[in-house]
Amino acid sequence: MRYKMIVAYNGANYCGWQKQQHGKSIQEVIEQFLSRIFNTNIAIVGSGRTDRGVHALGQVVHFDSDKVIDTDKLQYALNNFLPSDIRIKQIEIVGDLFHARFSAISKIYQYRFTLETTNPFISDIKTIIQKQPDVILMQEAANLFLGTHDFTSFTSAKIDPRKSRIRTIYDITVIQDNYDIMITLHGNGFLRYMVRMICQVILEVGLKNLTLQQVENMLVLKNKDVSRYKAASNGLYLMEVIYDKS
């Protein structure tokens, strides 16, 4: 039997989603309590990794077990055991063909900058900036990333060279709400650091540190060395993983 879960977490206290040799991961903590409830080792599969300090409101995972547990009771038990910075939002039984990673057709991420410099409680969940950027100019920069591109200039140099750097971004919006500036991206997939690098570049345009032409050149050159900009991990959220409803 295959269980699907939607998970939210504050990543500030974890080394990332995936189990690591050094440091506590979100995957490890969830597996620990699932294994206790099911009285056997349970391995979960996530829709993708999130890095150290990155958050999620809609991470999706699946796991298999021969044991049948009512999903409402399972959700209640997990949220009772798990630390308060990891929450199970939904559990359902799905077909065996469902795969949290390979069945996904797109993802939505959001990056949150804030001008609120006097609040001591937000530094783990938003990236503080000191100067008001031009939000209209930021949206113009965001529009340059729409469509299908080779994002070699906007990803980690450490990923497998055989892996395609071509991705499609369907939509990017830049919205300011009081102190907060939020960049929301919807695409068919994202490379490691891709969202954080794009969002920092968009911010730099808004701060007049980069021009739109320079951003266009970064995309065209397809060269990892042309962009050294990368936003901090604490402002990034995996908002939703989308699956084909058919």
107: which 2 tokens?
A: 């993802």
* Distances from the Cα of 166 to the Cα of 46, 152, 228, angstroms: 22, 8, 19
Would you tell me how many other CB atoms lie within 10 Å of the CB of residue 137? 17
Looking at 51, 85, 124, 180, which residue is catalytic? Answer: 51
d(CA 176, CA 169): 21
169 close to 147: Cβ distance less than 8 angstroms: yes
State yes or no: is 51 an active-site residue. Answer: yes
Amino acid letter, residue 16: G
Would you tell me how many other CB atoms lie within 10 Å of the CB of residue 51? 17
Calculate Rg over the CA atoms of the chain. 19
Place of tokens 């309590």: 33
SS3 111: strand
d(CA 163, CA 243): 22
d(CA 47, CA 69): 23
Catalytically active residues, by annotation: 51
